[in-house]
Each structure stands twice: as structure tokens, then as C-alpha cells.
Amino acid sequence: MTDVRPYAYFRDGLVPFEEANVSIASAPVLYGLSIYTVFPVLWDGKRHKLYMFRLQDHFRRLQNSAKIMAFDDFLQRWDYGKFESAMRELLSQNKVEESSLVRVSIFVDESLKGTRMHGLKHSLSAFVYTTPPLLPKSGARLMVSNWRRSSDNSIPSRAKINGSYVNAALMKHEAVLSGLDDALALDEHGHVTEGTVANVFLVRGGHLLTPHGNTDILEGITRDTIMHLAKDLDLVMEERSIDRSELYLADEIFLSGSSVQITPVVEVDHRPIGKGQAGPVTKRLMKAYAGIVDEATELKAWLTEV
């Protein structure tokens, strides 16, 4: 069951979570005009310290999404220093002492303005929560969706836009009704893109593969983290177009994202992947990802102590 902390950041400061609401006539409700990011906070029980993971990168992604969506008011009023201060205040007020997630949204804070975005007020909201794994950690069973990933020329894939997740919801719905855990999407050319809320990696012949950034994917921060970890582990890493049939021939597949971390995939379209369990490369990366808090390497630069 998802557990949401009692205080949220809303517009200009902290409020009780129950009071962080927008109107039913507001632009994010009527048209999905908001962008967001989800970043992990990592609790180090040995040192009794809390860290925000890759906070600067998550803020940069909010900025990039805002540029694509012409959220100029946010870009003018929020810099990284103000953002970090707000997140520290949020986590401190909630007395967070466990690994959690923080969801930050930037929304058009206007009502009945139609689909207009430019020249309007944009506000920030954020809340802290813990939730059970979105997918089975023992391994997810997937299908290739009949719905195609919306193209970058329709809804920009490099922007994390709330309204675009209708596309993902249709895929997830189809998968769940089919008795599976989640879905993978193809682009309009038939190439593999990503899962509904996660990027995808394959292992073939000892090489780690992931769809290229020009394949209508969200260039995930966890995806980038894995690519760094792969380099540290001396894994051969390649970004390229991936065909559907390569999924069936993969030795290993796993998903990555802030909400799923690294989740093995054991089946695609009722075909077992490898031995039907997490493979050796996936396990090495899971161990490396889980150990980031304890690493005395340059990875420490990714951690912002609260």
C-alpha cells in the first residue's frame, strides 16, 4: 500500500498533503498540462543520513521539459538553489528516515484557459511517498503492446509530460487484462522503445543493449545511471535500434526507472527470457545500483545530503 507523508510542497511552501489540491477546472485536470519527475531519496541507516539521488539531474530534466512545453514562468522563477532548498524543507518537515520517492510536478496554475501554456502562471508541487514495487522483483512478465508509443512529433518523448501517460495507461491496461505485469511499446517504425514507466535493457552475447535516444524514448536518469555502472563493471554497452524479435532471443532483459529500480524480465509474449530468472549481468547491476550509498567513488557526487 502506498504511504504518503503528511506534508507536501505546494505553490509557495509546505501545506498538509490533504490541502495540496487544484481546481477541477484547472489546466492540469482538464488538459494534462503539467510536467514531472520522480527522484529517489536513499536512507543510510549505518550513518543515519538521508541523500537525494541525482537531484541536479532531476531538476535539469524539469527545466528541459519546461523548455519543450514553454513553461516560461517556471524557468524564470525557479533555479537549482531554490529547488534544492524546497526539497530539503519538504524532507526535513516530513522527518524522512527511510528510502522513499519524491514526485515533483510543475503545472499550469490557471483555470479555464483552454490549451494555452505560454504567458500563464506555473506552480510547483511535491510530495514524499513509499510504495510497494510496481513490478515483481522476482521477475516481470511482459507483452509487446498493440498500442504504439506516441512519437516525438506528436507528444515530445524527451519531456516528462503528465498527459502523455494516457498512452502508457492504455498499454498497461491491455497487459493486465492479459494476465501479465506490464507492456513494452514499439515506435511507428516497429522498433522497441520502453515499458510503460521504465526504460528497457537487453543482454545478448554478453553485450548490454538499450534503445537509442532517437527511438521515441524518455532518456531516463536511472537509464543513464545504469550506463555509468555498466562502464564501471567493464560491460560492453551499446545504444541502437532494437527489433521486436530480438526480445525473444535475448539472454537477459530488465527494466529500469526510479519507480522500478532494476527489475528483471522473465517472459515476453509468453516466451521465457534466458532461464526465466534474473541473469548474471542483471544481478551485477542490481547489486551495484543498491550499493551506491556505500560507494566511495565519483558516484558520491550523485548524492545530496539532506
* Residues identified as active-site: 160
Measuring CA to CA, which residue among 191, 220, 201 is closest to residue 279? Answer: 201
Measuring CA to CA, which residue among 25, 13, 8, 7 is closest to residue 109? Answer: 25
Give me 30's grid cell. 482538464
Give me 244's grid cell. 521486436
Strand, coil or helix: 283: helix
Give me 213's grid cell. 535516444
What is the 8-class DSSP label of residue 1?
-
Q: Where are the beta strands (DSSP E) in the chain?
A: 3-4, 7-10, 13-16, 34-44, 49-53, 100-108, 122-130, 140-148, 182-186, 192-195, 199-204, 207-211, 236-240, 252-257, 261-268, 271-272, 303-305
16: which strand partners?
7
Residue 239 has phi, psi (to 5 degrees) of -100, 125
Residue 198 has phi, psi (to 5 degrees) of -155, 150
124: which strand partners?
106
Give the N- to C-terminal CA distance of the chain in Å, as an integer. Answer: 26
